Structure 1
Amino acid sequence: MRMLLYCFVFFFLLIHSQLSISSSSSSPDHAPQCHPHESSALLQLKTSFKFISPYDDETPVTAVWHKKTNCCTWDRITCDNVTGHVIGLDLFGCSLQGTISSNSTLFKLHHLQVLYLSYNDFRGSLILPEFGKFKNMTSLDLCNSNFSGHVPLEISHLSKLVELRLGGYLGYKVMIGENTFKALSQNLSNLTSFHLVGIDLSSLSPVISFKNFSSLIYIDLDNCKLSRKLLESIFELSNLTVLYLEDNEAPNVSLPTSNRSSALNRLTLRNNTFSIDLPLLLKDIPKSLSSLQLSFSNLVGPLPDNIQFYDSSNHLVHSAPNFTVLILSNNLLNGTIPTWIYALPYLEYLDLSDNQFTGEIIRDFETTSFGETVFLGITPRSTFQSQNLRHLDLSSNKFSGTLELEKLLISKRLAYLDLSSNNISVTFGNTKNYSLDNLEELHLSSCNITEFPHILKSSKILSTLDLSHNQIQGSVPKWLWEVGKNSLDTLDLSHNFLTYIEPLP
């Protein structure tokens, strides 16, 4: 899942950067002149918060905010190049702690267009009606900052909003009333990105719908306890491309299997209690869908074998969806892997871990993570023939037989390899012609290894090496200490039969 985490962080930062006005400070020579009352408001805002960071050497981003300098040159501040008014304040993840009251000088920055306050600690501060006074606001982010209480009706007055982020997974509860939700849907006609993470929507009446949010492209409704009616209205949004529905407790709700947006590109349903008819879901998936995540979704039984794919007009098509990511991990799926999975032409990341599949893997993947999937038989060499393979995780399976490590090293780009906890015996043949210039992590725990892999001699940037729980005997060779000399931070040689380790360099 590590590669997915990297992908998620990259995707979030990409969205954040696209929707925000650049928050980097302007050079003093070219910056507009800040208005004195806005500079004063920012300095008073700075003193209303404490800087709480787990890192001793971290300094607050507001450290360069000084009275005698131009606030348009300060970090996280953006000014209009013509008027000099402060139009952007980005305090995302700044480790600030304190409360925001109705007399906060934040609300004196009347020209704000972009305001990011997420990932701070505002100690249960209410989402105040004053937030609705920023008439030119296009992006408002109050997510995961310990705000509390009801979302005020005044937020619906921000008719220019393109991005709205509320709620979060932290300790305080944010709620939204029916009248406020209706007003948001009627007035925010420009909204393209909507986050209501952790806000309980189960009590909204059946007449409440997402249909009026017709411009929405990106929705995050993790942990919102969605009703069937709300789900149906979400899937009908014609412009929707990204939909996150993780961690929803809705045991009596079925996932809609029709009328889905033909533009949908990414669908994440991780850790839900929805009732999901997987064959119907797969049959009606739009051609545009490239990422589907259904881990921890209580899926049971074999995957359907003879899936026929349909287009948005319900016409039978012969090509599969353009999946690059397919995640079905941590379910109760069993049987063999159906052939249609191997027919997905663009698949880069496949995670079938923690199921009960049997059989063999029969094709190559750019990125492969099978985790604890149950596979039987000798690992087929064809799995590793991709010249572009960068991340391969086959750990905690039931592979058997003998595997020569160099057979996995066709790709010179390989950065991550994990074969731990299988029934295989990994050996090292003639590795003179192999180079591991890009290898960063190697996990070979419980692989019945009897010697140190000489192939590591060519590895220069290795950060993690795990050779634990093997059959290696004798002393640690001196050349091992040259492996990843300036990069290695994790080394595990435990549970072997070593007799001597010289003093570590």
Structure 2
Amino acid sequence: MDYVKLVLFFMLFPFLCQLTFCSSLYLLCPKEQALSLLQFKNMFTIDPNAYCFEGVQSYPKTLSWNKNTDCCSWDGVYCDETTGKVIELNLTCSKLQGKFQFNSSLFQLSNLKRLNLSYNDFSGSLISPKFGEFSSLTHLDLSDSRFAGLIPAEISRLSKLQVLNIHGYSDGFRFGPHNFELLLKNLTQLRELNLEYVNISSTIPLNFSSYLTTLHLRNTQLYGTLPEGIFHLSNLQSLDLSGNPQLTVRFPTTKWNSSASLMDLVLTAVNATGRIPESFGHLTSLRTLRIASCNLSGSIPKPLWNLTNIEVLYLGDNHLEGPISDFFRFGKLRLLSLRNNNFNGKLEFLSFNRIWTQLEWLDCSVNSLTGPIPSNVSGMQNLQWVSLSSNHLNGTIPSWIFSLPSLIDLELSDNHFSGNIQEFKSETLRRVSLKQNQLQGPIPKSLLDLQGLQFLLLSQNKLSGHIDSTVCNLTSLLVLDLGSNNLEGTIPLCLGEMSILQVLDLSNNSLGGTINTTFSIGNRLGVMKFDGNKLEGKFPQSLINCTFLEVVDLGNNELKDTFPIWLGALPELQILNLRSNKFYGPIKDSRTDNLFAQIRVIDLSSNGFSGDLPVRLFENFEAMKINSEKSGTREYVGDNFYYPISLIVTTKGLELKLPRVLTTEIIINLSGNRFEGHIPSIIGDLIGLRTLNLSHNRLEGHIPASLHQLSVLESLDLSSNKISGEIPQQLASLKSLEILNLSHNHLDGCIPKGKQFDTFENSSYLGNDGLRGFPLSKDCGGDEGVPQPTTPFGLDQEEEEEEEGDSAIISWQAVLMGYGCGLVIGLSIIYIMLSTQYPTWFSRMDVELEHKILKRMKKHKKRISV
């Protein structure tokens, strides 16, 4: 019996070993693979500030790697259950930082089937061709780890790949010529392909893996026509080709082969001009449809209402039209955006819809919607974003909007809403924009209690009352815009203590008193607009603490002070408007360099400034010395603050309101003061100038010829001064000049002729009795009407004085004939005088006459030779 037990024991021993002791042996990864992983770990440091994508926590997985433990137990490392070899490495969001070497020890893990290195920081590293040696690899994810340069063609050798994810945002991250086509040709097992933000710069080949479920090629510089066969991939679930404006997309007009499987279709900013075809009605599994900025037109086809599974519908920035009433059919919607189209009708569909319980985002802005917002709306407790701006909506804002418990962003601007703003009950609000309506009454106190509020925009309404100092409790506030209302009282002192406030706009109200606000050191204020009020007293000196200031607008008030030259020390200041106040005295030249170096608009008009124009200040205007007309980009002042900077300027003879100020809108307006002396020639160095207004002062002297260097100058106003002399002929080269006003000065001579000067009317020159030439009635003469300068270049002072006595204007041919005859007569007189002994006084007169005749002949011969 014991013998039988012994035999059974030896027979079962191998199995018992596998179940107990041997189980720990085969899970141990080979030492050389553990060593390779440790060497790979030591290539990088850990970035404690690294951030992963939303919803995923970033943590350093390699910190658990220790040579004293089995590598199969390390974070992110997975081994084969039978061989113990590493077959998967998942280091996504591991805070790795450093260079990824071409010959990294990682490539010794030849059995890898899955490799995920996404969301780390390998800044500037190239993707090694050795990635192509992982012959067993089925999943490769290198996305968002800041790889750069050329994606090696060797990736195309990974014939077993099912998932390839190499999207990223690095400059120069690209495919070589034909490599994209080679990739698709060889990787016939691909299920998922994500190359977002990689520069492919290619057409899309006709052949794709028939297994494809996901194809994401957003922002890849694709061009040509999208093969229709992509829409017929039978397994396709998600297609994103957004951000390829050179890619022409033509939708199938019949049923798509992918109709049953396609769930996400994203084609924003591609060339898909035309109508939405009825074939879309077959995409019954569709959850996300984004076709924005594609120039689509026409109405929504009826079959589209069959897509009852739609959760995200984004059709913004097209030319779609028709009533908006049928969108209630999409009962599962979480996001609906129809912004910037031509939809019309009323929002009545909101009132009878009871099934939009999941709706989080509603954007119907920039359309032609009319009528009031329905008041009997319920069931939208999850609504977080509401944007109905730039329509024709009217009536009062219904109470249900103010009671939405999850509301984050409310945008109802640019409509015709009236009545009072009700008390807000939502504590989640971050942004409230009700500007450009007809709302009235006080600012509700509940708005001033929202601790998380970042943007409060209530301008261009009829709000009244005082600005309550409790507004300073909004410690998260970035933009406070209360401009163009009927607010009165004084400016709260505490506004200067709001340390993160960036935009403060209280313009065009009835605020009075002095500006006693003390702006604290270290504040972030970038835009301060107090213009159009009744403010008195001195300029607030604590503004020197606002080192981020780009715009200071205190125009149209009653401030009385000298020019705040110290303001020029603010390094970012671009707009300074002090127009229509009571500033006085000279603008003293400062010895400090770089004052107002970034200034682009300076308006000191309609004040009491006196003395000479500030030459030293003009020398410091460095931003005005750059002509950025050909830069090709349109940048606006204040773009850093997500707020459109408006400004009233006098340009081209008109007072205009600029809703946004381009950085190329360079303006100097010193009109309506008591400046005297000469116009400094240094102004000619400010070649970026578009408007120069020095009118209604006491300036004298000549117009500097250096102004011809202002090649982009559009408006020049020097009227109502005491300027004398001629208009420099060089100004005829100003091809951009549209408005010229030189009236009411003491100018004389000929008006220049040229393309722009031929367009100016009499009003440009009124009150200058000495001017001649077109368009004035006084002819300037000359050959075929070409004006001749009354003071030719190259004549000395004696010759100029002699010419002043000559009033007759004759051709040079007549001059030579006259001089010839005069010479003969003169010589004859001399001969007679010598023969008859005429009086010596006559002799002296005759010699002087001969001298003048000879001198003028030489002068005119010189002109002819030139």
> Which TM bucket (shorter chain)?
0.7 to 0.9
Letter in 1 for 2:430: E
Q: Does 1:286 align with 2:283?
A: yes
**Which residue is 1:148 aligned to?**
149
Instruction: Supply the distance in 2 between the matched residues of 1:349 and 1:383 (Cα, whole angstroms).
Output: 21
CA drift of 1:492 comes to 4.0
Q: 1:281 to 1:407 in 2, by over 3 A?
A: same
Q: 1:251 to 1:218 in 2, by over 3 A?
A: closer
* Matched-pair contact (CA < 8 Å) for 1:283–1:308: no
Instruction: Supply the distance in 2 between the matched residues of 1:230 and 1:412 (Cα, whole angstroms).
Output: 45
Task: Output one character per residue of 1:402-430: Cα deviation in whole Å (capped at 9) or x when no partner.
Answer: 4245232565444443334443236345x
**Which residue is 1:20 aligned to?**
none
CA drift of 1:104 comes to 0.9
**Which residue is 1:354 aligned to?**
340
2:242 corresponds to which of 243, 246, 252: 246
Task: Output one character per residue of 1:253-274: Cα deviation in whole Å (capped at 9) or x when no partner.
Answer: 53444452111111111111x2
**Which residue is 1:22 aligned to?**
none
* Matched-pair contact (CA < 8 Å) for 2:397–2:417: no
Instruction: Supply the distance in 1 between the matched residues of 2:364 and 2:376 (Cα, whole angstroms).
Output: 15
**Which residue is 1:394 aligned to?**
387
Q: Does 1:476 align with 2:458?
A: no
Task: Output one character per residue of 1:178-204: Cα deviation in whole Å (capped at 9) or x when no partner.
Answer: 587457555542x32111333426356
Letter in 2 for 1:293: R
**Which residue is 2:426 aligned to?**
436
* Matched-pair contact (CA < 8 Å) for 2:223–2:244: no
CA drift of 1:371 comes to 5.7
CA drift of 1:368 comes to 3.7
CA drift of 1:384 comes to 4.2
**Which residue is 1:193 aligned to?**
192
Task: Output one character per residue of 1:482-501: Cα deviation in whole Å (capped at 9) or x when no partner.
Answer: x8xxxx63364343547364
* Matched-pair contact (CA < 8 Å) for 1:370–1:395: yes
Letter in 1 for 2:273: I
Letter in 2 for 1:146: F
1:48 corresponds to which of 43, 46, 63: 43
Task: Output one character per residue of 1:306-338: Cα deviation in whole Å (capped at 9) or x when no partner.
Answer: x2428xxxxxxx83453222112123x154435
CA drift of 1:355 comes to 3.0
Q: Does 1:499 align with 2:494?
A: no
Instruction: Supply the distance in 1 between the matched residues of 2:222 and 2:255 (Cα, whole angstroms).
Output: 18
Task: Output one character per residue of 1:106-138: Cα deviation in whole Å (capped at 9) or x when no partner.
Answer: 112233332222344545555444223334433
Q: 1:457 to 1:123 in 2, by over 3 A?
A: closer
Q: 1:162 to 1:154 in 2, by over 3 A?
A: closer
- Aligned to 2:229, the other structure's residue is in SS state helix
**Which residue is 2:303 aligned to?**
309
CA drift of 1:230 comes to 5.0
* Matched-pair contact (CA < 8 Å) for 1:218–1:241: yes
Q: 1:289 to 1:228 in 2, by over 3 A?
A: farther
- Aligned to 2:35, the other structure's residue is in SS state helix
Task: Output one character per residue of 1:58-83: Cα deviation in whole Å (capped at 9) or x when no partner.
Answer: 98654554555554555444455665
> Gapped runs of 5+ residues in structure 1?
1-28, 311-317
Instruction: Supply the distance in 1 between the matched residues of 2:83 and 2:492 (Cα, whole angstroms).
Output: 68
Q: 1:54 to 1:395 in 2, by over 3 A?
A: farther
CA drift of 1:84 comes to 4.7
Q: CA RMSD in A?
A: 4.0
Instruction: Supply the distance in 2 between the matched residues of 1:136 and 1:73 (Cα, whole angstroms).
Output: 22
Instruction: Supply the distance in 2 between the matched residues of 1:44 and 1:445 (Cα, whole angstroms).
Output: 59
CA drift of 1:451 comes to 2.6
Instruction: Supply the distance in 2 between the matched residues of 1:130 and 1:98 (Cα, whole angstroms).
Output: 18
Instruction: Supply the distance in 2 between the matched residues of 1:101 and 1:74 (Cα, whole angstroms).
Output: 22
CA drift of 1:89 comes to 2.7
* Matched-pair contact (CA < 8 Å) for 1:246–1:270: yes
When the two structures are superposed, what TM-score results if normalisation uses the length of structure 1? 0.73
CA drift of 1:400 comes to 3.8
Q: 1:340 to 1:443 in 2, by over 3 A?
A: same
CA drift of 1:235 comes to 1.0
Instruction: Supply the distance in 1 between the matched residues of 2:215 and 2:396 (Cα, whole angstroms).
Output: 45
CA drift of 1:221 comes to 1.5
**Which residue is 2:858 aligned to?**
none
CA drift of 1:344 comes to 3.1
CA drift of 1:339 comes to 4.3
CA drift of 1:435 comes to 4.8
Q: Does 1:375 align with 2:361?
A: no
Instruction: Supply the distance in 1 between the matched residues of 2:65 and 2:191 (Cα, whole angstroms).
Output: 33
Spell out the pairing of 1:96-245 with structure 2 (5 A cutoff).
96-122=96-122, 125-144=125-144, 145-153=146-154, 155-159=156-160, 161-175=161-175, 181=181, 184-185=184-185, 188-189=188-189, 191-197=190-196, 198-200=198-200, 202=202, 208-210=206-208, 213-226=209-222, 231-245=227-241
- Aligned to 2:306, the other structure's residue is in SS state coil
Instruction: Supply the distance in 2 between the matched residues of 1:229 and 1:428 (Cα, whole angstroms).
Output: 51
- Deviation larger for 230-239 or 143-152: 143-152
Instruction: Supply the distance in 2 between the matched residues of 1:490 and 1:60 (Cα, whole angstroms).
Output: 35
**Which residue is 2:315 aligned to?**
328
CA drift of 1:244 comes to 0.4
Q: Does 1:408 align with 2:401?
A: yes
Instruction: Supply the distance in 1 between the matched residues of 2:113 and 2:453 (Cα, whole angstroms).
Output: 43
Task: Output one character per residue of 1:365-415: Cα deviation in whole Å (capped at 9) or x when no partner.
Answer: 523432642334333215843343422322532344342452325654444
Identity, in percent, stands at 26
CA drift of 1:361 comes to 2.2
**Which residue is 1:37 aligned to?**
32
Instruction: Supply the distance in 2 between the matched residues of 1:492 and 1:118 (Cα, whole angstroms).
Output: 37
Letter in 1 for 2:276: P
Instruction: Supply the distance in 1 between the matched residues of 2:230 and 2:376 (Cα, whole angstroms).
Output: 39
Q: 1:54 to 1:425 in 2, by over 3 A?
A: farther
- Aligned to 1:287, the other structure's residue is in SS state coil
- Aligned to 2:115, the other structure's residue is in SS state strand
- Aligned to 1:43, the other structure's residue is in SS state helix
Q: 1:329 to 1:339 in 2, by over 3 A?
A: same
* Matched-pair contact (CA < 8 Å) for 2:148–2:171: no
Q: State the number of aligned residues.
A: 446
Letter in 1 for 2:42: T
Letter in 2 for 1:309: P
Letter in 2 for 1:406: S
Instruction: Supply the distance in 1 between the matched residues of 2:452 and 2:123 (Cα, whole angstroms).
Output: 42
**Which residue is 1:4 aligned to?**
none
* Matched-pair contact (CA < 8 Å) for 2:268–2:290: yes
**Which residue is 1:6 aligned to?**
none
* Matched-pair contact (CA < 8 Å) for 2:164–2:194: yes
Letter in 2 for 1:139: H
- Aligned to 1:240, the other structure's residue is in SS state coil
Task: Output one character per residue of 1:436-492: Cα deviation in whole Å (capped at 9) or x when no partner.
Answer: 36x343413415354343555997x745452542635324265984x8xxxx63364
* Matched-pair contact (CA < 8 Å) for 1:384–1:409: no
Q: 1:451 to 1:350 in 2, by over 3 A?
A: same
Could you say which structure has the greater relative contact order, defined with CA pairs below 8 angstroms and 6 or more residues apart?
Answer: 1
Q: 1:258 to 1:95 in 2, by over 3 A?
A: farther
* Matched-pair contact (CA < 8 Å) for 1:124–1:172: no
Instruction: Supply the distance in 1 between the matched residues of 2:104 and 2:255 (Cα, whole angstroms).
Output: 46
Instruction: Supply the distance in 1 between the matched residues of 2:40 and 2:162 (Cα, whole angstroms).
Output: 26
Larger Rg: 2
Q: Does 1:265 align with 2:258?
A: no
* Matched-pair contact (CA < 8 Å) for 1:406–1:428: no
* Matched-pair contact (CA < 8 Å) for 1:209–1:229: no
CA drift of 1:245 comes to 0.6
When the two structures are superposed, what TM-score results if normalisation uses the length of structure 2? 0.45
